[in-house]
Amino acid sequence: MEALGHLPASDPLQALLAGALSLGPDADFEVFALSNPDGAVFLYVHRDSGRKAVAKFYGRKWLDDSRSGSPELRGELLRREFANLEQARTLGFSGGTYFVPRPLAMSDAVDWMLLEEHVGGINLHHAIWDCVVNGNREFLFRAVGHAAGFLRQLHGAALPGALPPARGPYEYHAKVLGQLRYIGLLDDGDYERHLAIGLRGWDEIGPSVPIHGDATPEHFLWSDEEQRLGVIDFESFRAGVAAEDLGYLAAEMKHLFWYYSGDRWASEPFIARMYEAYGADYFQTERAKFFMAVAELRIARNFWLPYDYRRQLIEEAERCSSS
């Protein structure tokens, strides 16, 4: 988190923050950039009271390889996430052990900004880094267990009719493979072989349930002090199959442990903990392998990762989905 100074009183966001947090018109806010690949998420802290809010700017997100243009799409995504947060909270996540932040305000005029409650805690990504570097396994075991508990409760909730429909898993698998071929990480033979894995058909992959849709470690924050798990980023909240969330989270944990430690298998006890805490049966873990492979392929698109490591992720995806 990087301190950026104070929010100018002339910034239109200042009035929105003051109103959303029930503060006076002269409220002074400190600004912090949060870790985010888009550089689009910021924390605002009221200097006198310490009250906090988070702003996500859809105007700064990469959409169609650009951080400008597409105003209609940016507005649509903004309103969708606002509605998704409200919908998720109605499923039992407005308090208690599992908590989804309340959306506070939104504005197309302020760079397509979504303002929401701040969620405290340490995210799973940082906890994995701390585990690798400092050996703090106990905290990570607790945090992973609670993340799995949230997913179990979410997947067991009644499916709201207002949620976006399920995304075709095989179509997305083929899309990611096409992107990897386009950037030169797959040759034609690799592409056809990977594509065949999805085309072979995974019948009965699971019933439709509410899913987070982007179950990455950054989006789960556990607080020992509050004994609460905060879950953020509901941009992809939709109908889907439970195995998708499970496979994505497993893949992301495997990637982070592998990348930080150099050990391909270092994540195994924590992935096992996730499935155990979730109460996954054999069929759910088997179905999750396909989505784990899709997530590994998705991670391999990231140009800032070493080329050889990206190739290893692709090979691991093939091994995972073929086992």
Q: How would CATH label the architecture of 2-117? A: 2-Layer Sandwich (3.30)
pLDDT in tens, the chain (323 residues): 788 899 999 999 999 999 999 998 889 999 999 866 567 899 999 999 999 999 999 988 776 666 667 788 889 999 999 999 999 999 999 989 999 999 999 999 999 999 999 999 999 999 999 999 999 999 999 999 999 999 999 999 998 888 888 887 788 899 999 999 999 999 999 999 998 887 765 555 667 899 999 999 999 999 999 999 999 999 999 999 999 999 999 999 999 999 999 999 999 999 999 999 999 988 889 889 999 999 999 999 999 999 999 999 999 999 887 76
Contacts of 151 (CB under 8 A, 6+ apart): 212, 215, 242, 245, 246, 249, 278
Q: CATH 3.90.1200.10: which residues of the chain?
A: 122-322
- If one counts every other C-beta atom within 10 angstroms of the C-beta of residue 318, the result is 16
Half-sphere exposure of 151 (CA within 13 A, CB side): 33
| 167-172: Cβ within 8 A, 24+ apart | 167/238, 167/240, 169/198, 169/202, 169/205, 169/241, 169/244, 169/290, 169/291, 169/294, 170/198, 170/199, 170/202, 172/294
What are 221-255's pLDDT values in tens digits?
A: 999 999 999 999 999 999 999 999 999 999 999 99
Q: CATH 3.30.200: which residues of the chain?
A: 2-117
Contacts of 73 (CB under 8 A, 6+ apart): 63
CATH top-level class of 122-322:
alpha beta
Q: 73 - beta bridge partners?
A: none
